[in-house]
Amino acid sequence: MSALFKNGRSGLRQRSFRKPTEDPIWLKALLGTLAIGFIAVLLLLPLALVFKEALAHGLSPFWAAMIEPDSLAAVRLSLTAAAIAVPLNTVFGIAAAWSIAKFDFRGKTFLVTLIDLPFSVSPVVSGLIYVLVFGMQGWLGPSLADHNIHILFALPGIVLATIFVTFPFVARELIPLMTDQGRDEEEAAATLGATGFQTFLRVTLPNIKWGLLYGVLLCNARALGEFGAVSVVSGHIRGVTNTMPLHVELLYNNYDYVGAFAVAALLAMLALVTLVLKTLLEWRYADELAASHRH
Amino acid sequence: MSLTVDSVSKKFGRFPALNGASFVAPQGGFVSLLGPSGSGKTTLLRILGGLEFADGGSVRFADLNWLDMPARTRNAGFVFQQYALFKHMTVADNIAFGLRVRPRHKRPSKGDIQNRVKQLLDLVQLPGLDARYPSQLSGGQRQRVALARALAIEPRMLLLDEPFGALDAKVRKELRADLRRIHDHAGVTTIFVTHDQEEAFAVADLVAVMKDGRIEQYGTPAEVRRNPRTAFVSEFLSA
């Protein structure tokens, strides 16, 4: 009798160990292996290969390829383009998200579609659009050339193409967030006497800062890495209009593998820095982050 | 300094939310707008707060053409059903918000703001909670903070939109009594929206029963209860 009772109890205990939502161990193991394998083969392996190839002949050829004047020029150009495009898209993105999330107006859906356009259009096509507008055979090209203004095959064209391609990142990140937050806090601020600008600075901005930061980081990563659109408008002038991704291609096509992978490694490291920065901020402000998600 | 609401109307698309609502609230009065959902009571309150714009009619408060003023200059404290506290600010910063956004020449000194926050926390019976964040408070406590925040600006008018709607019965009763006490203490004209007739009758000096964007009956709780003027009012009160 007592043995039976004991058996019954231990059986019960075994069952209560498993939560109702928990899956059997073999399924967990299978899914886990699949996921890790996927990440390893598709993400980690290529990244490791980039560094392996870059360092294939040791550190000094790698370093020489990095500080080669054309490479440095490409780094400088990429950083300049990002430094102009990212702040502008941050402002555009906040303005677009603010108007879409906090106001009702005719044509709102159309505006959202427009914002998504750069995601759905191939970057090469968006580069070509600028060629059609600003090129010598284009609408504005001849008159701009008369006034000695160069857009294509120069920094302005590269910046324009980068802005176009990276436009949705900040806005896309913010629209659902701001829609979800609603207008309550802004309305409360207005009844308490705050001006529109005070409301934005003291209420809206603090509420969206994490989403904004994330959007800006994504936007920055893409701005540095953009290839297609920039490739069309840049003209590939070595040391002048070659951005980092274009320079990687150029070196690779010239069979300079160490050079190509060295610049690629640098590009990858910039992306990693972005990621580390994001993780650090999330870790540092974890409490505040959690507090703003609850409520 | 009485509040005169005269035939205010408002349409959302083709749906008429307000159909010529009129009433007069005496200075320092406590008026309850009572009605089922969709009767236009919240719309009327939001128009008084400057959060919604009337299509027609007029509102005068003292000698002010109330509807021509933006929400920001009306100095009307608004309390929302879902609290609408600033999540990223402490309780003290929430309460001080309305004082801190004032133009420099009207802004109290830091010390004065601190004192005012402390007084208000005592008034709403939350002493010592100034450093908490809204997410660390219960629903009733949040609404007390919202009330303190609205009172901080020394409002000309206090507007409450179903302030106790999200709270349980016991907390509602406590807060209701506190609200009445605070109203009597501050003497500020108060408009209180609710769909709960027991609450309206318990707390207000005057009750406006609303239906389909109009005021069906307006009077003291005793009058309205004794002489329901329309079939709708008597039905709504007996429900």
A-chain CB neighbours of B48 within 8 Å are: none
Interface test with A, best of B97, B120, B145, B158 (most A CBs within 10 A): B97
Nearest chain B alpha carbon to A194: B101
Asked if A189 lies within 8 A of B77 by C-beta distance, the reply is: no
**pLDDT more than 70, % of chain B:** 100
Mean pLDDT of chain A: 87
**pLDDT for A288 beyond 70:** no
Whole-complex ipTM: 0.93
- From B35's Cα to the closest Cα of chain A, the distance in A is 23
pTM score of the predicted model? 0.82
Q: Which pLDDT tens digit goes with each residue over B149-181?
A: 999 999 999 999 999 988 899 999 999 999 999
What are the residues facing B161 on neighbouring strands?
Answer: B193
Amino acid residing at A276: V
Smallest Cβ distance to A191: which of B77, B85, B133?
B77
Per-residue confidence (pLDDT) for residue B166, from 0 to 100: 83
Q: What is the mean pLDDT of residues B225-234?
A: 93
Q: Which pLDDT tens digit goes with each residue over A212-266?
A: 988 998 899 899 999 999 999 998 888 889 999 999 999 999 999 889 999 999 9
Q: How many CB pairs under 8 A join A and B?
A: 79
Nearest CA to B206 among B192, B194, B218, B190?
B218
- In angstroms and rounded to an integer, the radius of gyration of the C-alpha atoms of chain B is 18
Question: What's the CA gap between B38 and A197, in Å, rounded?
Answer: 33
Band (pLDDT 50/70/90 cuts) for residue A2 is very low
Sign of CA dihedral A51, A54, A56, A62: negative
Nearest chain B alpha carbon to A205: B88
Task: Transcribe chain A into DSSP letters.
Answer: -HHHHHHHHHHHHHHHHS-TTPPPHHHHHHHHHHHHHHHIIIIIHHHHHHHHHHTTT-HHHHHHHHSSHHHHHHHHHHHHHHHHHHHHHHHHHHHHHHHHHH---TTHHHHHHHHHHHHHS-HHHHHHHHHHHHSTTSSSHHHHHHTT---TTSHHHHHHHHHHHHTHHHHHHHHHHHHHH-SHHHHHHHHTT--HHHHIIIIIHHHHHHHHHHHHHHHHHHHHH--HHHHHHH---TTTT--HHHHHHHHHHTT-HHHHHHHHHHHHHHHHHHHHHHHHHHHHTHHHHHHHH--
Asked if A194 lies within 8 A of B72 by C-beta distance, the reply is: yes
Burial (Cβ within 10 Å: 0-12, 13-18, ≥19) of residue B73: exposed
> Token pair for residue B148?
């303190």
Using CA atoms, how far residue A108 sits from A202, A212, B74, in Å, is 26, 21, 31
Can you state the angle between helices B91-100 and B139-152, rounded to 10 degrees?
20
Nearest chain A alpha carbon to B133: A291
Band (pLDDT 50/70/90 cuts) for residue A145 is confident
B-chain CB neighbours of A195 within 8 Å are: 72, 101
B-chain CB neighbours of A190 within 8 Å are: 50-51, 70-72
Q: Is residue B197 helix, strand or coil?
A: helix
Asked if A195 lies within 8 A of B101 by C-beta distance, the reply is: yes
**pLDDT for B216 beyond 90:** yes
Secondary structure letter of residue B109 according to DSSP: P
CB A93, CB A167: distance < 8 Å: yes
- From A287's Cα to the closest Cα of chain B, the distance in A is 11
Sign of CA dihedral B164, B28, B92, A183: positive
Secondary structure letter of residue B180 according to DSSP: H
Q: Is residue B33 helix, strand or coil?
A: strand
A139 or A54: which leads in pLDDT? A54
Task: Answer whether A291 touches B (CB < 8 Å).
Answer: yes
Smallest Cβ distance to B87: which of A187, A191, A207?
A207
Nearest chain A alpha carbon to B152: A192
Q: Which pLDDT tens digit goes with each residue over A158-212?
A: 999 999 999 999 999 999 999 998 899 999 999 999 999 999 999 999 999 888 9
**pLDDT more than 90, % of chain B:** 91
- In angstroms and rounded to an integer, the radius of gyration of the C-alpha atoms of chain A is 26
> Token pair for residue B175?
């807060």
Per-residue confidence (pLDDT) for residue B118, from 0 to 100: 96
Question: What's the CA gap between A146 and A273, in Å, rounded?
Answer: 43
Question: What's the CA gap between B122 and B233, in Å, rounded?
Answer: 39
**pLDDT for B41 beyond 90:** yes
Asked if B75 lies within 8 A of A193 by C-beta distance, the reply is: yes
Asked if A187 lies within 8 A of B80 by C-beta distance, the reply is: yes
Per-residue confidence (pLDDT) for residue A290, from 0 to 100: 62
Q: What is the mean pLDDT of residues B81-96?
A: 95
Asked if B86 lies within 8 A of A203 by C-beta distance, the reply is: yes
B-chain CB neighbours of A206 within 8 Å are: 88
Asked if A291 lies within 8 A of B133 by C-beta distance, the reply is: yes
Interface test with B, best of A185, A191, A201, A207 (most B CBs within 10 A): A191
Task: Answer whether A80 touches B (CB < 8 Å).
Answer: no
Q: What is the mean pLDDT of residues A130-151?
A: 84
Which residue has tokens 């509602």?
A: B172
B-chain CB neighbours of A287 within 8 Å are: none
A-chain CB neighbours of B81 within 8 Å are: none
